[in-house]
Amino acid sequence: MERKSQAKPILFFFVLVSALIETSYAGDIAIYWGQNGNEGTLTDTCATGRYKYVNIGFLNTFGNGATPGLDLAGHCSPASNGCTSLSGEIKSCQNQGIKVMLSLGGAAGSYSLASQEDAKSVADYLWNNFLGGTSSSRPLGDAVLDGIDFDIEAGSGQYWDDLARSLSAYSSQGRKVYLTAAPQCPFPDAHLGTAINTGLFDYVWIQFYNNPQAQCQYASGNTNDILNSWNQWTSINAGSIFLGLPASPEAAGNGYIPSDVLTSQILPTIKSSAKYGGVMLWSKFFDNGYSAAIINS
């Protein structure tokens, strides 16, 4: 009888743990790197041990007949093949289990897609110059990136779904091409809504900042808008959804969430979603302690 009574607390403990596992999901941190020469190297970024995904930004000129152009701010000059030295750094990150993506677009640049054929042409360029294909002019050297990030903030929403399909088709050649996206928090996103609806995106990090008029981000202590918006976004057909945030008040015009507010009032709620993937931060330059403050939460 004594042994039987001891079994009940043990059984209750395992039931409780199982319930917690079922309703709370672990998350990772994604970071953008490449837009400030003072943010440290890619090697140093990955060596922090805080990031699971790194988006190198940006390829901000492409499509519609334009010669593709990579802008990595003060880090290196693609025009003189000066960014091929990043190949070793990319491989170092990948050897630590970190996925490294090339981010397309950004807030400034000259990019658009003119047709389905144009989208296919851009996909071919990306495959041969950054992914598993071959080219004599790979801007980042011989490193094979894990995938492509869509940070489309200009132009129309046309043909990005075709680009996603064309890139995804390359996964059949032996190595998966991960697709990620960084839509704005107004739902659905004007530029990427159609592309995301393809269901091909593995990770979607929503920008919950710089959209005050849309009432979908944190403001003045009010968490309702961002939580309501998050619930809308969990309806999309995607692998994992990330809460995209500025890593400091200076990183965006608005939408910054103090780390203690994030960990106590927001993460406990959104982590109950089966699609919860973690937090995306803009950007490495501005991350002066934010990721360290939230990583254990």
Residue numbers of the domain that contains 174: 28-295
pLDDT of residue 26: 84
pLDDT interval class at 5 (50, 70, 90):
very low
Say whether pLDDT at 13 is over 80.
no
pLDDT of residue 62: 98
Say whether pLDDT at 178 is over 50.
yes
In a domain, 21, yes or no: no
The full length of the chain comes to 297
Report pLDDT digits (tens) over 82-109. 999 999 999 999 999 999 999 999 999 9
Single pTM value for the model: 0.92
Say whether pLDDT at 1 is over 50.
no
Catalytic residue from among 22, 89, 117, 153 = 153
In a domain, 2, yes or no: no
Average pLDDT of every residue of the chain: 93
pLDDT of residue 23: 64
Say whether pLDDT at 49 is over 70.
yes
pLDDT of residue 174: 82
Active site residue 22: no
In a domain, 244, yes or no: yes
Say whether pLDDT at 230 is over 90.
yes
In a domain, 12, yes or no: no
Alpha-carbon Rg for the chain in angstroms: 20
Sequential DSSP letters for 261-274: HIIIIIHHHHTTST
Of the candidates 166, 171, 173, the one whose C-alpha atom is nearest the C-alpha of residue 118 is: 166
In a domain, 3, yes or no: no
Beta strands in the chain (DSSP E): 28-33, 53-62, 69-70, 99-106, 110-111, 147-152, 178-181, 203-207, 240-246, 276-282
pLDDT of residue 19: 44
In a domain, 162, yes or no: yes
In a domain, 6, yes or no: no
Report pLDDT digits (tens) over 235-279. 999 999 999 999 999 999 999 999 999 999 999 999 999 999 999
Please count the structural domains in the chain. Answer: 1
Domain of residue 122, CATH code: 3.20.20.80
In a domain, 14, yes or no: no
Report pLDDT digits (tens) over 14-37. 444 444 444 678 899 999 999 999
**How far from the centroid of its chain's Cα atoms is residue 129's Cα?**
21
